[in-house]
Structure 1
């Protein structure tokens, strides 16, 4: 994770919204057929639907967030599920505090 990647990832309103929703997925997403919302993460399809964007557009947002270390991805069957990487996010909070 590079500092610049983190700040680039956070500099987009949709990505910030995704991070907010994934902080409490049960409050923001319906129950999934496969995978637990908290343990496994939220299916990319549900996130794309909630944002009103295509899966291709969502994939780019998720790639940026994952490369920045903010999310973890997990495959279940043909679907990709995403959840926040809370350990990395805590490290990023510490990084921001030390830099600002």
Structure 2
């Protein structure tokens, strides 16, 4: 099983892509897979994301406590930036 930190990172990275490309079925399916891992495997609930100029913050409930992790924007947005810089390499495949 992946660590919670790794799963949150992977989920947030693809969630940022889905937020920008909601009709990309591959991205949507991947985001759902990581979200399900967070809920079913890691046991977290009530996931919320906030951001500022430097960081993304993921807030969630785990074992009755409110917790959070933070990730630098430059790491989370790397995939989205690659897609935007070379859109011809990342075809959008709607269902």
User: If the length of structure 1 is used for normalisation, what is the TM-score?
Assistant: 0.28
Higher relative strand content: 2
Higher relative helix content: 1
User: If the length of structure 2 is used for normalisation, what is the TM-score?
Assistant: 0.28
